[in-house]
Amino acid sequence: MDKLVAPHLNRPVGRPPKSGIQVKIVNLHYQAKSWSKPRRVVAKIEWHRGELFPRIGFVATNSRLPAGKVIKVYNGRAEIENRIKEGKNTLRWDKTICQRFGANQARLKMGVLAYNLLHMIRQFYVWGEEVKRSIYWLIKRLIKVGARVSYHARRWYVHIASAFPLAHHYRAVLAWGS
């Protein structure tokens, strides 16, 4: 495989894009010893700013899509699997310990609903930061916070400490204003 990729490992000419990553996608045909025939392999070669060697990833596929689309599909699939893993690890989707199917189904639906709400908070209200926050971070920093909730004149109020460093996130989510 190294011999097939070697001609494509020259760094692209020109100034790198603003993202700092230059990408080249290459179609190859490769046959491993255990394979009965050569297969299509799509290689994604990335040159990152400040790194000496490129990062190389391979996807063996029987898809007839263009190489760029193959990489996009597989990256999307990996992103979905990361979201499933995040739900299992933070909200315990895999804890179906009840004896009845209906109880386990209700527990899973509540977990999915909670995940969707947290994901919406992450997507729309936790912005302007360099790092995409995890669901675990949201739960630890915004949900599990000491606060006093009161109801007065048809309104709910959430009172948090004035020294709380993430209060701007609460204001954004609850539409209090800045």
How does pLDDT run across 119-158, given as a tens digit for each residue?
888 777 766 666 677 888 888 877 777 888 899 888 888 7
Q: How confident is the model at residue 177 (pLDDT cuts 50, 70, 90)?
A: very low
How does pLDDT run across 64-104, given as a tens digit for each residue?
999 999 999 988 888 888 888 888 888 888 888 888 999 98
Pairwise CA distance, residues 130 & 137, whole Å: 14
The residues that bridge with 158 in the sheet, in sequence order, are 149
Match 């994901």 to its residue by tokens. 119
**Alpha-carbon separation of residue 163 from 83, 126, 140, 159, 167 (angstroms):** 33, 19, 17, 12, 8
- pLDDT at site 130: 62
